[in-house]
Amino acid sequence: MKNKSQILVVDDEQSMREYLSIMLEKEGYLVDCAEDGGAASSLINEKVYDLVLSDIRMPNLNGIELLGRIKELGTDTIVIMMTAFSTTEQAVEAMKLGAYDYVLKPFKNEEIRLVLRKALQHHQLKKENNRLRKQLDERYSFDRLIGKSSSMQTLYHLIEKVAKSSANILITGESGTGKELVARSIHIHSQQADSPFVPVNCGAIPENLLESELFGHEKGSFTGAVTEKKGLFEVANGGTIFLDEIGELPVAMQVKLLRVIQEKQLRRVGGTSDFGVNVRVLAATNANLENAVTAGEFRSDLYYRLNVIHIEIPPLRDRKEDIPLLVQSFCQSLAPERDVAISTELMRRFLDYHWPGNVRELENVVERCLILEDGGVLTELGLPAHFDCSHGQSGALVCQIPEEGLDLDAYMADIESKILVQALDRCHGVRKHAARLLKVSFRSLRYRLDKLGL
């Protein structure tokens, strides 16, 4: 595969320019040449180069002065200096001023190839990191946490304050409110922003695998451990680990997690020695951990370690003034090619609905409307069936029966199906927890799921 990186060779010796040009073009690079710093300066004003390979001693404008011109332009062009042994000190000075490296003349072909290859790999990684950082900033900046309500403005200010600290944070809120989004925002605005952010769903990992997943294991420590494996705390070292659904963590694992947080030391499964980790812990739950502590289901000492700072995300029903902004944002992100308007009736229905699934549910409903209605105006025709049967502010069930009537059995089956699916989604597929959430027996839940084919 040809390397299409653009390289500028600058040297006052014509034979050196020709030699390097032929060699680099054989490697697949796109090569321009300049006989001195002045000619090179003219070229870099017209074209952006990935790399400039320049001699130090040249007439008109020497290599050090050319380096200064390139840095003034503010591009991320890599500069490598060529120098004779007698001017090594100047080459070192050039590196202090921003040159990537230098090579001594005369050099071997393989040496120059290796230096260029490493430099361009560094250049590519830098561009990719900048791209990813920009993408994260766009997705997880405060602008992505949309809302003009006073509760959201308070949340923004709180995130900005706590992000700069190293304190552990407990994020609470109902399912679908955006707990991971808040966690990512905290990380991106923290001093660990360039280090890993590792999300972990504690309720989705089987109990017998939790310790290995979090802390890693040594080769041969149990059946199937054919190689050593880093745990997620090791992966997050120097950065942030986000423990979502922390309330689902078994008590035995709570003890081990507490030790890691307190001592900043961990030991892999099957290991014989501890080693240090420096990880900021952000935890989240939609459960009431204080009640879990009282019931003996969650350790109080771990709770207080995690709850150094508490962030509560408000449910959507308590900040309905944010719904129009959220709907507009979802339309732009889900259908950027369409100029979509929202009918007055559809917005009224959005504002009247109680949103048990919060912002996640709103996004799903907007996406459904966009798919089902391909016109320029979205109407209530794209709403799911359960929007015709929702709880008003009084808590009474409000049903709107169509003029043509409805099939009550089918309608109720549809409502029951949606409630069951929502309960399972909130409980990450754990039927025992879903039964408890819906206040029915496990056998009753299983019967209902089987009857509906879920």
- CATH number for the segment(s) 6-135: 3.40.50.2300
pLDDT tens-digit readout, 225-277: 778 888 899 999 999 999 999 999 999 999 999 999 999 998 888 877 888 89
CATH class of domain segment(s) 401-454: mainly alpha
Q: Indicate the CATH number for domain 316-396.
A: 1.10.8.60
**6-135 and 141-314, same CATH topology:** yes
pLDDT of residue 86: 67
Convert the pLDDT of each residue in 282-315 to its tens digit.
999 998 999 999 999 999 999 999 999 999 999 9
Q: Which residues of the chain have pLDDT under 50?
A: 1-2, 129, 132-133, 135-141, 143, 391-398
Cβ atoms 261, 215 nearer than 8 A: no
The structural domains of the chain, with segments of one domain joined by +, span: 6-135, 141-314, 316-396, 401-454
121-156 as b/e: b if 16+ CB within 10 A = eebeeeeeeeeeeeebeeebebebbbbebeebeebe
Under a CB-based contact definition with an 8 Å cutoff, are residues 190 and 238 in contact?
no
Write the CA distances from 409 to 396, 444, 447, integer angstroms.
20, 19, 17
Long-range contacts of 348-352 (CB under 8 A, 24+ apart): 349/380, 349/383, 349/387, 350/323, 351/320, 351/323, 352/390, 352/392
Instruction: List for the chain the helix, strand, coil content (%; round to 5).
Output: 50, 15, 35
Tally: H helices and E strands in the chain:
18, 18
Q: Tell me if 282 sits within 8 A of 171, measured CB to CB.
A: yes
- The CATH code that applies to domain 141-314 is 3.40.50.300
Q: What is the rounded CA–CA span in Å between residue 414 and residue 407?
A: 11
Looking at residue 135, what is its pLDDT?
A: 46
Can you give the pLDDT at residue 396?
40
Confirm whether pTM is higher than 0.95: no
